[in-house]
Structure 1
Amino acid sequence: MFRNTNIRNPFFRSKKSLNHFENKTQSIQWLLLNKNMNITLRANDIFKSSIDAVESRVNEVFQTGRYYYDSRYLQFSLSYKFGNNDISVKNRGTGNEQEKERILN
């Protein structure tokens, strides 16, 4: 992203530009043990590119700055689903079957 601003008046002149570089996030996921175990590895700002570069000129004084906000991290997560996946569900009739037929007709 690049933004350029100009401020002009008889007593104060300013020119400012801001460059912002986007960061790169990557993740990979493994499903194991019949998809009951999930392993995820995630990295944020891999290339250390979350930097703001600012250049400004105020009343003919030039200023420059580079600001780095550390947002790098590496995340590891492990989850496991416990329980029975083979649960059989039996449909039961609830209520009065004659009433249901009367309503549908």
Structure 2
Amino acid sequence: MGMFYSLLGITASEISLKNWIGEDSSGKFKMIKVDDCLDIVSPDGLTLWYDECLTGNYEISYRIKVVMEGGKYDRLSDMNCFWGAKDLKYPDNIYARKDWRAGIFKNYNTLCGKATRL
């Protein structure tokens, strides 16, 4: 899956991969930056968190391309988006239960905030 994003007027080429924290159920996800895209290979469930707190008014936009060309990890799946999320058990540390959530969708029911399922 490749993802192009524009965050607060900043393009992918201006944002470091270190800004992203992965919660991956397979233990095999990979993400590289190619031009203005993040190329993400995720064999199974994956959640990526942008590791900077957004405040004030902001717009999140992205384009997704799901690759279905018979590759080892090519698969059609939904995409779930969380923003402004908090873990009610650990409201000051969204990552406290990242190993437990591990990209498994049902484990995100403990979060509050905004969510969209595409």
Q: How does the TM-score come out when normalised to structure 2?
A: 0.20
* Larger RCO (CA under 8 A, 6+ residues apart): 2
Which is higher, the Rg of structure 1 or of structure 2?
A: 1
